[in-house]
Structure formats: structure tokens, C-alpha cells
Amino acid sequence: MVTMRLERRLSSTWILAVVSLVPVLLVVLLQHNPVQDDPYIFFRYARNLAHGQGWRFNPGVPDANAITSPLYVLLLATATRLGISTTGAATALFVLTSAGAAFLTGAALRRFGFRIGALAVAALVGSAPALGAVRGMDASLYLFLVAASFLAALERRVLLTGLCFAAVVLTRPEGLVFTVAIAAAVLVADRSRRPTRKQSGLLALAFVTPLVCWFAFASLVVGHVIPSTFAAKIAQRQSGLFGHGWVFLRGARELWKNGRGSPDALRTFFYVLLGLAIVGLVSRLRDRNGWQLFVPLIAAGTALALFYGVMYNLPPYLWYYAPFVWIELVFAAVGVDALLHAIRSRSTRIGVAAFTVMALTTIGVIQTPRSNPVRDDYFPLAAWLRAHTPKSSTVMFTEIGTIGWASDRRIVDWLGLLDRAALPYLRKGQLGWWADYYRPDYWIHFAFGPTAANRVRAGHHWYVRVHKSGFLLVYRRIA
């Protein structure tokens, strides 16, 4: 009786909240800045919008719209407009949405009786190295909204469900597959939760209205309803920059490399989680309990894998894998639950469950990447640009996010995010086209690349080296 009461307390809401929040806070404390460069693209768009400079990366210069997550930018811009720093708002959003995704996923599992699984998934999602590696991107908001959609649909809150569906699509357009899968499994196939005709109309209205508002805003203010990023990613893959063959599926196979620590330990942890996920999936094939949750996960994951990896074979950017990591962690948590319930002694099961949750959290946090040594040089180089170049200067660099954010200079993009003119050249693998097209005043290159000479030629223009910052070299156009 005592152990039963203790097991119920361990799965209580406040324990679940603590297990969800603590790993995320530890990740933020250990990471001084986002590991990736792309978050700063969001930040710059949000800052410019908040300061009245429009939906632009370079103020006053129209672009092809490099933002696939309008909701994320609007949230950051609103916070910036209210006087909160953009980076501070992004950190707060990461903490709230990451912990929220962990908590809501655990709550969904708990609804179907997976008490140990609820704690395990909260620990796993909150501390996952692959999710911590994309801090600052829209991934945590995306997963939070998908988890919220599940719970809203399970509780038959049609208005909230419709709003959550719309928010998912406005965060990641391909999130539509999750909304369709959830609606089909929870609101159609599950007769006990099937809404009335009036409720269906309310859900549809709540879903469509925010999307119509965004389309109107995008047409009038942004200038492009459909961003350029998807076409740019396809052109990048066609260029051969990421190799050849099934680059997206190969990237999924190497996800374990995107962590901190011993490669052998990372690989082992990755395959342990994969093994637990297989156990969880097999246990659900033998037991229909929770099918309203698990069937949509399998359906949406399969659809996204076909879309990303087969139909378009996108480059292996980490944030594309976030929903797959989340789905894997859900089934891994169910696998933990199934294995621990094989222990007959309730007190032993509780002890092993508590140890497992703490171990998963610790391993995940330890393996979360802290920084990228190359990108650590971006900020001092941006400071040099602010101090030694005219504000009207144009700067060309492979990664436009951090340098653009911190230097406050006009950035030239040759990978097609800001300018669709790059796409035909990229598709053909013509990577030096930018020199004559843009004629940038400054050109940043990696010091370990082939252009480390003091004087180099790009296109028909000569550049002379004027500065070095760690792994980066700065060249100025002289002719």
C-alpha cells in the first residue's frame, strides 16, 4: 500500500514538472550561446521587425524571406518590442517550450497509464543532446505545440485543438502532417472523442483563421508567402556540398555524432535509446493501449521521413531531425516502462525507475554540445567588422546568421536563403558565381581552407587579407 502510494506520488504533476524543467535549465547554464549559426537568422529578422525595419534580414534590402517559422519570429519580435533582448527572449522561449514539450509529452503518456514512461520521456526530451544542439531554432516550439495538440485533442478541447494545429503549421509548414495524423486518429477514428458537427466547424474556424491572417500579413508586409529556404536547401543538396546519394538518411544514421564526449559513449547511448524505442514499439504492437497517441506518431514520422529523405533528400541540417528524435524518445520511454514493469517487486521497480530517470538526465546533459570552436570566433570577428569597416559595407560569408546579427553589416548570401538568383548556380555546382554578381567589399573565409594567401582572386576581382580571427580570415576587395 505504501509503495503504491509512493509510485503515484512519483508520477504526480509537480514531480513531472521538475523532471521536465531541471535538464533544460542545466543545458542553458552549460551553453553560453546557441551551437548552430541559423538561430541568429531568426534573431536578426525579429530585431529588424521590432525596430520598424520590416521583415528583412538586411534593413532596407528586399530578400526572398529566409524564415520558415513565422510564429517564432513574431514571438521574438513582440518580446523585443516590449524591451526584452532578442537573445534573452529566445533563451526564455527555449526553456519554456523545451520543458513544456517534455512535460506535455509525459502528461500524454501518463493519461494512458505509463507512469514510469512519463517521467522517463520528460527526462529524455529535456536533456536530449540532439535537441539541445539546436537551441535557438524553432524546434522546441514546434515539439511543444505538437505535444499540446495531442493533449488538446485527447481532452476534446476543439477550440484549443484548432489553435494548436494552426500554431504548428505556422511554426513549421510540414507540421501539417502531425495535425492530419492527430485529427484522423484522435478525432475521427476514436469514436469516443469524435466531435459534433458544430464542434468540427469551431475547430476548422480556429485552424483556418490564424493561417488566413498570416497569409494576409505575409502578402502585405513580408512580400513572400512562401519562403525561399526549401528551394535553397534542395539546390544546396544538388550542388554536392553535402556529398551525394541519400544525404538525409545518412545524416540520420550519424546523429549520435552531434554530441559532446567520447564517440564510443555517444554511439552506445544512441543505440541504447534506439533499442529501447524498438522495445517500446513492439510492446505497443502487442497492446492497443494508447494507440490514439502512438499511431499518429508512427504515421507522421513515416510521412516526414518520406518527405525529407526520399522525395526531396534534403541536406542533413540538425533541426530537420528534431521530430524524429522526439518520436524515438517517446517510444524509448515506453520501452523503459515496459521493461521496468517486468520487475514484480513494486519497491524495487520504484527504485530502479528513479535511478533510470536520473541516469538518463545526467547522460543527456553531459553529452549536450557546449559550443562550436569555429563559431566561437564569429563574435570577435563581427566586433572587428563593426570597428574597422564602413557601415555600408557588404560582407560575404558562408554562414550569414551570427556575423549578420553581431556585425550590423549588409550580408551577401551565396547559398540561396536571401536571394533566389543563387539557385540556378547552386544546382549546377557553380560555387564561385557570387564574386562578379555581388562584388562584396569584404569576404570572410576559413583559415584552414585553400584561400589562406595574403592576396587572392575571386571572379574578376582581387582581395587582400586584412584580418585574422582564430579560424577566420577577412579579405578586402581592392580591384
Residue pLDDT, tens place only, 380-433: 999 999 999 999 999 999 999 999 999 999 999 999 999 988 999 999 888 888
Verify that 165 and 63 share a domain, yes or no: yes
Across the chain, mean pLDDT equals 90
Predicted pLDDT at 264 = 80
Contact between 75 and 138 under an 8 Å Cβ cutoff? The reply is no
Verify that 345 and 422 share a domain, yes or no: no
Per DSSP, 290 falls in state: T
Verify that 105 and 172 share a domain, yes or no: yes
End-to-end CA distance of the chain: 84
Verify that 410 and 316 share a domain, yes or no: no
Verify that 52 and 176 share a domain, yes or no: yes
Predicted pLDDT at 370 = 84
Verify that 192 and 330 share a domain, yes or no: yes
Answer yes or no: is pLDDT of 220 > 90: no
Report the SS3 class of residue 395: strand
pLDDT tens-digit readout, 57-67: 999 888 888 99
Confidence of residue 448 (pLDDT cuts 50, 70, 90): confident
Read off the pTM. 0.93
Contact between 391 and 397 under an 8 Å Cβ cutoff? The reply is no
Verify that 176 and 320 share a domain, yes or no: yes
Mean pLDDT of 444-471: 86
* Domain boundaries, position 276: 2-367
Verify that 363 and 380 share a domain, yes or no: no
Verify that 30 and 117 share a domain, yes or no: yes
Confidence of residue 24 (pLDDT cuts 50, 70, 90): very high
Verify that 39 and 10 share a domain, yes or no: yes
Answer yes or no: is pLDDT of 1 > 90: no
Per DSSP, the residues of 4-34 read HHHHHHHTSHHHHHHHHHHHHHHHHHH-SS-
Report the SS3 class of residue 59: coil
d(CA 281, CA 263): 27
Q: Which of 367, 401, 433 is the last residue of a domain?
A: 367
Tally the domains of the chain. Answer: 2
Verify that 46 and 150 share a domain, yes or no: yes
**Distances 475 to 109, 407, 458 between C-alpha atoms, Å:** 55, 16, 11
Q: Which of 347, 367, 387 is the last residue of a domain?
A: 367
Q: Which of 367, 396, 429 is the last residue of a domain?
A: 367
Verify that 334 and 390 share a domain, yes or no: no
Angle between the N-to-C axes of helices 322-340 and 263-286, in degrees from 0 to 180, rounded to the nearest 10: 70
- For the chain, how many residues are written? 479
Predicted pLDDT at 295 = 95
Confidence of residue 9 (pLDDT cuts 50, 70, 90): low
